[in-house]
Structure 1
Amino acid sequence: MQAEELIILHTNDIHSHFEQMPKIASAIQQYRDNSISDSIVVVDCGDHIDRMRIETEGSEGSANIQVMNAVGYDMITLGNNEGLTLLPDVLQHLYRDEASFKVILSNLYDQTGQVPDWIYPSYILDRRNVKVGFIGITAAFQDFYELLGWNVTDPIVAVREQVEIIRKHADIVILISHVGIAYDKRIAQEIEGIDVILGGHTHHLFEVPERINQTYLCAAGKFGQYLGTVKLTINRETKALIHVAGEAIPVEPFAPHPQVEAIIEKYRRISTQNLDYEVACLDEPLHAGSHGESPLGSLLASGLRKWTGADIGLANVGQLIEGLEPGSVTKKKLLEICPSPINPCLMLIRGEDIAWAIEQSLTEEYRNMPIRGFGFRGKILGVLCLDGLKVEYDPMAEPFQKVKRIWVNQELLHPHQSYRVGTIDMFTFRVGYLSLKKGKVLKFFLPE
């Protein structure tokens, strides 16, 4: 029996960790040097872009695209960090005008219900006389996508539809997924006809592929620490898939690729220049601390309150990496101290739930709580910063019994009354101060 071998190299959730991309490029180059030229397919499963990094923010994502072009990606899907932190016209420019790879995504539509001309719901790639069908999906944060003029649909429904279409014409079907490990496993259990799922979104790592029914699940962790590899062995005559093998390879041992390093350095210089303009000048320092009242944290809460037109402003000081010293404040500096791509929102929250969040904020357990994901780019939750509230509390009282009285605009906070609160969308995901999630979202401000 004669067989063909195809090698799929995949990344996911790089989140603009540019320091890893030259090593990933060298690893991919080594595979190309040691393989038949057209047997390699390079794929990214979303969230390559993250606006926390100067190179990305200062170039509106161009740095990421040019690095991916240089590495030689063949196709990608979009993650929520691409879809929800960049405006549609910016996405169109990046992926239609700059990218040399294809965007595969089957559950994202514009306001007219059409698929943009730079997106393929599915795509068949012919390599070594084997037709490999690719389908892409992304996490369906419809409340957020709608504010940007998108309609994102159920990814499982989208996959089922595309598999039915593409399976008739493809020898192999690969799903490029940015919906997370739980969805990937569900898809493998419920939908026939998918040979491999390349996963992302939940930052999970499969050191070797995991098989569910006839589908192999693969994922390469987070932040570019690994390069995923999948070797497909296909019967040359029948085109049947004979064998699947793979592993996630640490990229740390690889020497950085000089061309990719040069591109990153170029965009670091350009982006620094683009962001190095003054937005404010301080006469006094604005400190940010995690365990007490923070002038800069209070300013953030005040800004949220005013921006959303609320009665109360709430924000956790953990959003702030450090404070500000007297003198000029640039946009670059603001990005450095507050890198999280998190948006304001207006909520209606009962007084008792606000009071309980403040009680939690007065405990070491909550102030020092590590937070990962949900747009948060800090380390710990930190104290809850307030605006529009006055709190009387006893620091020596037992935990969760410290608050004595709370005033809102000179009136005592009523436990059963609902208040308009300007805060951050992270709290709507049931993260951090959990009682705030009980409120009703009136409006997301996206992207801000």
Structure 2
Amino acid sequence: MLAGKRILLIIAGGIAAYKTLELIRLLKRQGAAVTPVMTRSAAEFVTPLSVSALAGEKVYTDLFDLTEEAEMGHIQLSRVADLVVVAPATADLMAKMAGGHADDMATTLLMATDTPVMIAPAMNVRMWDHPATQRNLKALVADGVRVVGPNVGDMACGEHGPGRMSEPADILDAVRSALSAGPLAGKHILVTSGPTHEPIDPVRYIANRSSGAQGTALATALMDLGAQVTFVTGPASVAPPVGANVVAVETAAEMLAAVEAALPVDAAVFAAAVADWRVASASGKKIKKQDGALPVLEFAENPDILARISQMGAGRPRLVVGFAAETHDVIENATAKRLRKGCDWIVANDVRPETGIMGGSENKVTVVTEEGAMDWPRMTKAEVSVQLAAKIADTLTR
């Protein structure tokens, strides 16, 4: 599927560098040509000889090697590829990219390229969560850099959390998506998904039955059409989409902050089932059961993310799509919601328990727009996503 494509693979110095050996194998198996570039610290984890043997090409390491410059100037090297992939992308390299540094072969290539760039971050969970890294990530995404991962899991340092580099097969899928010529190429789309968890105390929370399946399927369909997707997800029971920039949150307030941090975008699709209310003052300690006494919970209204973005004025996405889970009067309620929130479309569905839609694999939606209501037949959530992504692409490419 990648026959004739050339990948410029930049390997930075991190323990996850060993995974790039398998990535090279997979890319070559798909017919891609891989030109490897290694930072000096990368050679502490994998040898240039191993990388060269698997890629079938020489490894570029030194910006001032006259032989390499004579054979392939670093400016030219940065522009003959179809895609630049940085794996692993360390916190240091991400910071240099965001700041426009060019002090070695890898950073100079990244500064000189006019080719699309994809990064696969890999670092300690605390480094990933650090405000500087998140600030750099936002800057890179705004610059059009695609992001795959990181995954959540155990670290080499013994900690657990987000920061593990995506698996080679997942990076391969993201490469294929990035190189597919689709109508949404060059478009940045925000998708929210899953439920939110609003804490009552450290062990209890308010939630809903959303699985996140529709949001994940929609993000995948949008990426299949070439879009760059930022995926803000609550604690869903399905895995996030491969190839998206995934931002995990728990509460509605956290989701709003993540959405605002992702702007500007070309379109925003709010598929998350955000809790309308939260406990006004969540307890810092577990609320103990007392015989004959029931706890009294005071509720406060959560921020209305859909309305906030729909009505933001300057910087508003060109297309804002909301979802409405209804148990009665679906079209009437969805039409009223679209007008009340100020969004362009509402994708409404009937989530009565007997439909099996909430948390299930199928959906039956009605798309409400300014022109009216379009009733779609019941189909799988993947099929709904393909049809909705095509409608979004048609609107954004007019």
For normalisation by structure 2, the TM-score amounts to 0.29
Does 1 or 2 have the higher relative contact order (CA < 8 Å, sep 6+)?
1
For normalisation by structure 1, the TM-score amounts to 0.26
